[in-house]
Structure 1
Amino acid sequence: MIGGDEPSSSEVSVLDCRFNTWREAPRMREERSSSASSVIDGKIYVAGGCEDVNSENWVEVFDPKNQTWGNVTNPGTETHPGASVVSFGIGRKLYILGAEKEVVYDPDEASWNPIGLDADLVCAGSLFSGVIGDVMFLWIDGDFMWYDSKVKVMEAVVWR
């Protein structure tokens, strides 16, 4: 789903790690280049990378159980982070960081809001390596760190 400078196709391939096999999934509704993807509650959210940043398909969500794509409301031009974004899912929410704006989507309420979090999470999100549960893991300048979203604390591992 992450492409180069040229728009990619809307084709999607899925790796089943249990059986080490690839299979084709249903196509996305929008062709994308340099999109961002995140997993929340077992669903895959794909954002950005569209030629038209106002597209109703700017964010799509894939439900692997049903093998279907659905739309997520576009955050709108006043809060839109732009075409090229970074995203991560943590605490049952989708965070999208753009060059100038950051927004958060709550799937339970189907609503977008500006990110009102501490600077550590926004900074970490722009550098993150992955999320497991409610913990974001990072590798920054040779240091392994993590951010726990429940207690809002960033910690570093001291190497000996």
Structure 2
Amino acid sequence: MKKSTLILLVLTLCLSLRTGPVLAEETGYWKSMPPAPTPRTEASAAPLDGKIYIVGGFTPTGIANKVEELDTRTGTWTERSPMPRPLHHTSVTAVGGKLYVIGGFSTGMWTPVNATYEYDPVKDSWTEKAHMPTA
């Protein structure tokens, strides 16, 4: 299993607790990270260039479009530009230095979404991409 996949699995399991360990690539040992700034459930996460991005999900106040970035080298959380719309249960992946958020649900009533969004961490900006044919 790749280290980035293992990091993602552990972080996903710890999201509800808001804290958890990550595998330090430089040493191969686990290290504790600070709690995420926003408690949430049903969020999505993906590793990209030594950082882990958490997008959307349910917060105590509702469905979030919030995006937070954890720098696994420094243990620092940074709030990034929000997604174009609040979503939960999305698919997210990193390809070519960018994140892609695909599908998910837009309401607490499980309304499916066929949208695809691209996030550029260098520009800290979102671009809407071609929608899926069905949600």
TM-score by length of 1: 0.59
In structure 2, C-alpha distance between the alignment counterparts of 1:19 and 1:75, rounded to whole Å: 34
Question: Is residue 115 of structure 1 aligned with residue 129 of structure 2?
Answer: yes
**Runs of 5+ consecutive residues of structure 2 not aligned to the other structure:** 1-10, 105-112
Quote the Cα distance in structure 2 between the aligned partners of 1:41 and 1:17: 12
C-alpha offsets along residues 93-133 of structure 1, whole Å, 9 cap, x if unaligned? 1101123122111112111111238x7xx9xxxxxxxxxxx
Q: Please tell me the residue identity of whatever aligns with 2:102.
A: L
1:98 lines up with 2:108 in the alignment: no
After TM superposition, the runs of 4+ consecutive aligned structure 1 residues lying more than 6 A away are none
Contact 1:14/1:22, CA 8 A, preserved across alignment:
yes
Partner residue in 2 for 1:83: 88
Distance 1:61 1:18 in 2: 20
Structure 1 partner of 2:8: none
- Are the counterparts in 2 of residues 13 and 22 from structure 1 also a CA contact under 8 Å? yes
For structure 1, the 5+ residue unaligned runs are 123-160
Q: Answer yes or no: is the 8 Å Cα contact 1:8–1:32 preserved in 2.
A: yes
Distance 1:76 1:114 in 2: 8
Within 5 A, what are the aligned runs for 1:3-152? Answer: 3=13, 8-16=16-24, 21-51=29-59, 52-54=62-64, 58-77=66-85, 80=86, 82-99=87-104, 100=113, 101-116=115-130
Which of structures 1 and 2 has the larger relative contact order (alpha carbons within 8 angstroms, sep 6+)?
Answer: 2
Report what 1:128 is aligned to. Answer: none
Q: For this pair of structures, how many residues does the alignment match? A: 112
Identity of aligned residues (%): 25
Q: Measure, in 2, the Cα distance between the counterparts of 1:76 and 1:45.
A: 16
TM-score, normalised by the number of residues in structure 2: 0.68
For residue 43 of structure 2, what is the amino acid of its counterpart?
Answer: S
CA contact (8 A) 2:70 2:76 kept: yes
Hey, which of these two has a bigger chunk of helix by percent?
2
